[in-house]
Structures are given as C-alpha cells and as structure tokens.
Chains A and B, each alone.
Chain A
Amino acid sequence: MSTYTIPVGPLHVALEEPMYFRVQVEGETVVGLDITAGYVHRGMESLVMQRNIYQNITLTERLCSLCSNNHPCTYCMALEKIAGIEVPERAQYLRVIADEIKRIASNLFNAGILAHIIGFDSLFMHVMEIREIVQDTKETIYGNRMDLAVNCIGGVRYDLSDEKIKYIRKQIDRLKKPLEEIIDIYMNNKFVRARTEGVGVLPKEEAVRYGVVGPVARGSGIDYDVRVKSPYAAYDKIKVNVHVENGSDVRARAIVRLREIQEAVNIIELCLKELPDGPTCIDHLPEIPAGEAIAKSEAPRGELIYYLRTNGSDKPERLKWRVPTYMNWEALNVMMPGNKVADIPLIITSIDPCISCTER
C-alpha cells in the first residue's frame, strides 16, 4: 500500500489553534508524524524584557487563554522568591481558588472539544452549558470571563466578601450533579467508549521517557502533580487527591481531566471553609533586587515552570518559561502511529495542546 501525506493544519476545524501536523498515512493507518510549530510566534520572550516588572504581570496573563491565571501567578511567585516577599495567607488561599476555577473551565472545555471531535455535538453543547456556570462565576467575582487579572506581586487583587463566598458556594453546588452525569457519559456511553478506548496509547515507560506532564502523565499511570510534589500558594495546607488512570489512552486522559474538575470543586469548597482573615496583598510596592529564581505551578495542562533573572533594574534580564504542551506534544510521535486517520484530531486534542503559550 502506498504512503501519502495528509496535512492537518495549520488551520483545521478540529484544532483550536494553528499547528501543522504532516501525517504519513498508509491506507487509513497512520505510520508517521511530522510536527511543525511556529505559526503563532509573537516574540513574547523578547517583549517581556522590554517592559517593566509590573507590566509583565499583564503581559504574561495574555500568553494563553485557558491557563491564563497560571502564568502571572507563577511569574509573581518567581518575583516573590527573588525579593523574599512573604505572601499573606489569605492571598495564598485566594490564589488557589482562582487557580482551581480556571482549571474547571479549562478541563470542561477540553472535554467538550473531545465530544465535538467524535461528532457527539449534543454532548458538546451539554458540557459547554455546564461550563457556562463557571464562566458566570468568573465574570461575577473577577469581572472577566477569561483573564481574571487576579495576581500581583505579594498577593492578589481581589477579595471575597461573605456575599461572594456564598455565591461561589451556590455555583459550585450547581456544578456537582451535572458533573456526575457527564463523567458517567464519558466513562460508559457506548459511542464515546468506542472512539476513545485503546486509541492514542502512551505506555508508562514511554511517558516517562518523554517526560510528559499533567493529565497526560496521570492518564498513563504516573503519579505526578506539582500541587502535591512541590506545593505552592496554599496547596501545602490543602489535601489534593491526585487522580491517576492506568488506561494510557484518550479515555484515561479524559477521565483524569474530569476527575480533576471534581477535585477542584472539593478544593474550592475547602478553601472557602478555611479562608483565613487578613490582608490580601502586601501594603507597598516592593523593590526587586538582582537575583534569579525558578517557580513552578500546576496548570490545567501540567507543570508550568518559570525561570526569572533580574538585575536590580525595573526590567527583567531574562524570563523563560517552559509550558506543559512543550513536553507533551513530542509524545504524539508515540501515540499516533498505528491509529486510524479518524483518530488524528482526537489524539491531538487528548494532550490538550496550548499552542499560543508553547510558541509565545
């Protein structure tokens, strides 16, 4: 049988962002994959060095849409490390709440896209409808549906009144029942199972070799979560149950994401219960001395690492970040071969690629 190439991308209905995959196909079976990146390069690494430290909080928030809270949060953590700033306890809890709300929205979005790709549009609409509850919450609490603009150096820029806490509790409660329903659908529905089970398998050894992170790693049986392994913000005071699946396929990754939503709901409830009193931010604009630091956080897609070096001026000397998708997309080389053409977009979506923060 002859081999031919199918171009998936740079613009493709199933991809949310521009990314170019040249897929070598034999009949209907994928035999090889060639990933070409660089379609949304915006030169942001250079841009951060031309702006001052405070402006960069806003800039890093615009790196990516779905994990937009993790970028400024991690950036601020790196700055706080350099300046030795102690973040007030209440602010740490508030950071966790913002983090988890974004995680719910991001993971639900990915679950919806999965349903759309397998042609199950009713499920897609249903998931998006549930996601709307989270979007409403974001809009009410933070004033925005995507970029929360929560973080600042030494704390957060919002506070929760009793009324707002009650509102979040109410919204979170509304999420619980539909979440149970859709998890049941993703786990047991015949059509979803037929398309996701045994597709895009990434064995545990290969997952370790490629160093994949986030739900992709946890779907392959690797118990790794930054929130547990090196806790940041208030995660050291909150118990996070890491959900690990051993299926290693698209289904396992989807279930890990959905279970993480449930866990996020629990974490938010816990945070709201234990929310300590006190200031939400330090009371002065800090001086940032020369130095360097690394900060990590668990974005919805996996481990996010920031490296920052300052030289005492108001502009960072170097800011580099490693995003989860950078680690995950190479593993597509293992997941793809042997699968059918029909499964290509499905497998790509299963790593939940975030191209705009990978290519920045």
Chain B
Amino acid sequence: MTNFVQLILNLLIFPGGLFAVALGLFLMGIDRKIAARLQRRVGPPVYQPFIDLVKLTRKEMVVPGTAHLQAFWLAPLLGFAGMMAAVTLIPIAGVYQGFKYSGDLLVLLYLLALPAIALMIGGSASSSPFGAVGFSREMVMMMSYELPLLVVLVTIALKVGLATGGIATFSLSEIVQFQLENGALLFDYTMLPALLAFLVFIPGNMGVVPFDIPEAETEIVEGPILEYSGTGLALFKLMTSLKMIVVLGLAIALFFPTPLGKNFLVNLLWFFLKCLVLMVIAITIVRTSTGRVRMDQAFKFYLRYPTVLALISLVLTLLQR
C-alpha cells in the first residue's frame, strides 16, 4: 500500500506533477529571458509562463464546428498525461531513484513519442488546413529525430550492458548506477559523438528554431495548435514544459548524473543547474542564432549528421569490447 501511495505522490507532487510543472515553466521563463537578452530586448519577466498558464486556464476553449470533438479534447490530455508519466521515470541522482524496472528506457522512448502524436491527433482533429500541414510535418520531423535518438539509447544500453557483464541494459536506474560507480559517460571519449547527437536531437524534439517546422508561426500559423485556446492550449503548453524536463533530465541521466554530495537539497539544486546549462546550450543559444530550415533540409540534416555521430559511438563501443 505504501508503494502505491509513494507512486501516486511521485506522479502528482515530486518529481512529477507539481514539481516538474513548476520547474519546466520556470526553465522556460529563464529561456525566454536569456533569449531576449541575446537579442538585445528586455524580455518578459521570468514568471511569465506561469501568468500565461493561469490566463489560459481562465479562458474559454473554443472548439471549431467542423472539428472531431472527442479527438480534439483527447489530444492535449494524451500529450500532457504521457509527459506526466514520463517525468516520474527520470531518475535524479541523489534525489530520486526512478523506477527499478528493467525496461524503463524503452517505456520512456515510447512516451517521448506521445507529444508528437498528440499534436498530430490535435492537428488533424481540428479540421484546419494548417493543422493538416502541421500533421504531416510533425510526422516527418518525428521520423527524422527518432532514429538518432534510438541509436544513442542503444549505444548507451550496450555500453553499460557490456561493462556489467550482460548484453544490453535498458534500465535507466542501472545506467545511472553504473555511472555513479565508474564515472560519468560525459568523460568517455567513445560517448562524445553520441552526446553531440543527443544535443542535436534536443532542439528537434523540443520544436524550437531551427526545427520548429511543425509549428512554424510565420508559415502555417502554429500548425496543429492553431485552433486550440483556453484549457486545451494550456495543456499543450504544460506538455511542452514537461517535455523539456523529460528531455533534459534524460540527457543528464544518460551522460552526467553525478551528484554533488549526499544532501538532498544540494543535489536537487545541482540537477537544476545542469538542466539550466544544458537548456542554454541546446535550446536558447541554438534558437537565437539560427533561422528555421525547411522540412526537406531538416530531414536530410538529421539523417546525415546526428545519425552518423551516434553510429560512430555505437561502433566505438563495440570495438572497445
């Protein structure tokens, strides 16, 4: 019974639920502020995402007359719920263990696909032509960034699995445990290409410039989420901020989970710092220094560079054995 209560608490309060939402929104606020300073603007206050969220939840949600009602409602809920579940799978070294379940990395991989699928469902259910274009773009985008991600995950699973005597381990907690004992993978030269591939995967998955193609504001007016307002839009925003925590947290768990000490709060702060640095590198700087690429260009890019980088790591790992 305590296990069950613990699970619910993990899901709703910490590290999922309230905590993750607050952290995600806060990180987004910082991201906006830094981006603004980089563009020599003043920028909104750091708490702006919270204000936006409260404002959106108090607004009416308008459903287009031609939309498929159930699917239109289902999409944001699906995306949000999927990300809520995903956050609980992310271990924070020295703070939170994650699930001691041998396949949580695979579950996470599937859960990570949910936001894109939710956007696709929402886009096509909204019956707007922009939503339809957004649908197809989201799908192509997903296909392009999922492959390098998969190769990176397999590489790390193999690396840890081979080192611990098995073949491959798809357990995040084991991967973290391995790194706590043998040093972070960040400092392993064979993993550097994989790390680079993962860094390139982050802006694609987060849908920021230059890979915000499915939601390109000036091209297809936000695409799938064009018709969303009020609560639906708020859920999508929450989904994005949670996704940020999941993606950044996953990167930290995979490459640099090392805690700072034994103190719970210090470790939590350390995790936040790592998230912040990673976000600035992989999201804020990238999105302020580039322009949006076209779908075909993005697809070619992802098949070419990150996939090759990830494969190099895979080969190096296998050779090292």
Q: Which residues of A contact B (CB under 8 A)?
A: 4-7, 12-14, 25, 27-28, 115-123, 125-126, 129, 189, 191-192, 194-195, 340-345
Contacts and interface: CB of A to CB of B under 8 A. Distances in A.
B211 to A, nearest CB: 10
Interface string B124-138: 000001101100100
A116 B218 contact: yes
Given A28-B136, A121-B209, A340 B294 contact: yes
A121 B295 contact: no
A271 B73 CA distance: 64
B181 interface: no
A132 to B, nearest CB: 11
**How would you classify the secondary structure of chain A's contact residues: helix, strand, loop or mixed?**
helix
B219 A341 contact: yes
Contacts of B279: none
12 contacts: A5-B129, A6-B133, A13-B221, A27-B136, A28-B133, A119-B292, A121-B209, A122-B289, A126-B40, A191-B210, A194-B294, A342-B294
Which 9 pairs of residues, A with B, have the shortest CB-CB distance? A119-B292, A120-B291, A191-B291, A125-B39, A14-B218, A118-B291, A117-B218, A119-B209, A122-B288
A129 B216 contact: no
A14 B39 CA distance: 20
A6 B38 contact: no
B212 interface: yes
A13 B216 CA distance: 11
Given A14-B219, A118-B218, A191-B292, 5 more contacts: A120-B291, A122-B288, A122-B289, A125-B39, A342-B219
Interface in B267-291: 288-291
A195 B132 contact: no
B129 A344 contact: no
Contact of A120 (B40, B132, B290, B297): B290
Contact of B132 (A4, A7, A14): A4
B52 interface: no
Contacts of A118: 218, 291-292
**How would you classify the secondary structure of chain B's contact residues: helix, strand, loop or mixed?**
helix
B216 A119 contact: yes
B216 A122 contact: no
A304 B218 CA distance: 29
Given A122-B38, A122-B39, A6 B129 contact: yes
| Size bracket of the B interface | 20 to 34
Nearest to B294: A342
A119 B217 CA distance: 8
Contacts of B200: none
Given A129-B40, A194-B297, A342-B219, A115 B291 contact: yes
A13 B226 CA distance: 12
B293 A191 contact: yes
Given A116-B218, A195-B294, A341 B288 contact: no
B106 interface: no
B11 interface: no
A184 B177 CA distance: 50
A195 B133 contact: no
Interface string B214-232: 0011111100000000000
Q: Which of A5, A12, A13, A344 is the most central at the interface, judged by chain B CB atoms within 10 Å of its CB?
A: A13
A165 B150 CA distance: 64
B262 interface: no
A195 B293 contact: yes
B302 to A, nearest CB: 15
Contact of B295 (A14, A191, A340): A340
B291 A13 contact: no
A173 to B, nearest CB: 21
B41 interface: yes
Q: Which of A7, A118, A129, A194 is the most central at the interface, judged by chain B CB atoms within 10 Å of its CB?
A: A118
A14 B216 CA distance: 11
B136 A119 contact: no
A7 B288 CA distance: 29
B221 A342 contact: no
Contacts of B296: 340
B293 A194 contact: yes
A342 B297 CA distance: 12
B213 interface: yes
Contacts of B293: 191, 194-195
A208 B237 CA distance: 49
Contacts of B40: 125-126, 129
Interface string B118-153: 000000000001101100100000000000000000
A122 to B, nearest CB: 5
B252 to A, nearest CB: 27
Contact of B291 (A4, A12, A28, A195): A195
Contact of A341 (B133, B210, B212, B289): B133
A133 to B, nearest CB: 14
B284 to A, nearest CB: 11
B219 A123 contact: no
Contacts of A12: 221
Contacts of B41: 125
A50 B128 CA distance: 45
Contacts of A14: 218-219
A125 to B, nearest CB: 4
B291 A341 contact: no
Contacts of A7: 129
Nearest to A341: B133
